[in-house]
Amino acid sequence: MQIKRRNFLMGGCAIAATAGCSTSKLFSGGDADFDDNLMALFSDCHLPATNENDFRNYEWDELNTCIAGVLRLNPLPRNVLIFGDLAYTAGDYADYPKARELLRPLIDAGIKVTIAMGNHDRRQSFLEAFPEYSKSTKVPGRIVSIVESPKADFILLDTLQGEQVGVQGPVDGKLNPEQIEWLKTTLAGYGKPVFVGSHHPINEIRIAGLLAGTPKVAGYINGHDHVWRKDFFIHKWTERRVVRTLCLPSTGLWGDIGYTLLRIGDNEAVAELHQHDFFFPIRPRSATDINPEREVILRENAGATCTFQW
C-alpha cells in the first residue's frame, strides 16, 4: 500500500551546517509517496555529541549521507529501523540529543524511526532524550519494540548488558529472562510473518531454536559486526526449516558503510545493500590511508541482496 505524502520542510539546515555539509546536496524536499512495505535498516551509527575531537570527525557526515539516500527515494519507506549502537562508545548523556537532532530530517519527512539498544548504548541516558520508549516498550526495564507493516512485522529486542552511563560494559549480547518469556508468548500467537532482530548476532542470544521452531518467523536481522553478511541457521537436521539471517553494515564508524532497504512482498522480502564506502579502522584522511581492499570489497558487494521467504 502506498500513501500520498504531504509537502514537508526538511529540517536539515542546521544539522548539515554543523556537519560541514551542504543541505541542498544532502536532503531533497518535495512530494513523494510512502510505501508501507518498504523499510530502511540502519545500524551502528556511533554518534558522538561533538565533532571537535579530531578522531571523531566523520560519523555525523556518514549518517547524513545514509539519510540523504533514503530521502531521495520515491516512494519513501514508512519506517527506519536502527539496530543499536546509536551512541558513540558508552551511552553518554550528550550523545542522544545530538542523535535525535541528526535524525530529525527523517522524522520531519514523516518517517517513523525505531531504535534498538546496542552494547555501546545505555538505557538511562537514551530515555532522557527518547522518553517515549518508556511507555512503548513491550518489556518493562528494557527497550523492546514491535513495528508493524501490512505484510510483515518486526520485533526489536534489547540485548544490552551494560548499565552504567559512560562506562563500557560487556561487548557480548544477552536477553534477560523476561524478554525470552515475552518473546515465546508473542511468537506463539503471531498470525503473519514476523522478523526478529537485535543488535547482536543470534548465536550470542541463544534463541535460534525458538525462531526455527516458529513457522511465522521470516528471518533474523542484527548489527554489531559492521559488515554485510547473509547466512542461515537450522534447528534440527531432521527438519527442512531454515531461517535466514542478515548482518547489517555500519552507517559510518568503520567496516562496510551504508544502509539496507528491505522490500516486503506477499511471499518474500528482499534486502538490498546500499554501500557507499569501506574503511578500517577509521575513515581515511588522505589517499595514502585508503584500505587497499576498498575497491574490491565495494565491487564484490555491489548489488548485493538477501531474500527471506515464507
Question: Could you read off the pLDDT of 3-60 as tens digits, one per residue?
Answer: 444 333 333 333 343 344 433 344 544 566 999 999 999 999 999 998 765 555 699 9
Whole-angstrom Cα Rg for the chain:
19
Give the residue ranges of DSSP H helices in the chain.
13-18, 23-26, 59-71, 95-108, 123-129, 132-136, 177-188, 202-205, 208-212, 294-301
- The pLDDT score that the predictor gives to residue 53 is 54
pLDDT in tens, 281-307: 999 989 999 999 999 999 999 999 999
Among the listed ranges 29-43, 123-137, 212-226, 282-296, which one has the minimum average pLDDT value? Answer: 29-43
User: What's the grid cell of residue 193?
Assistant: 510473518
Beta strands in the chain (DSSP E): 2-4, 33-42, 76-82, 112-115, 145-147, 153-156, 194-198, 217-222, 229-234, 242-247, 255-264, 268-279, 305-309
Task: For residue 117, give the nearest of 223, 254, 1 by alpha carbon.
Answer: 223
Task: Write down the CATH number for the domain with range 34-309.
Answer: 3.60.21.10
In the chain, domain spans: 34-309
Helix (H/G/I), strand (E/B), else coil: 234: strand
Task: Specify the pLDDT at position 8.
Answer: 32
pTM of the predicted model as reported, rounded to 2 decimal places: 0.90
Reading the block at residue 43, the C-alpha cell is 545500524
Residue 54: its pLDDT value, please? 53
Instruction: Give the contacts of 104 (CB within 8 A, at least 6 positions apart).
Output: 11, 12, 15
Average pLDDT across the chain, whole number: 90
Cα 82 from chain centre? 3
The pLDDT of residue 142 is above 60: yes
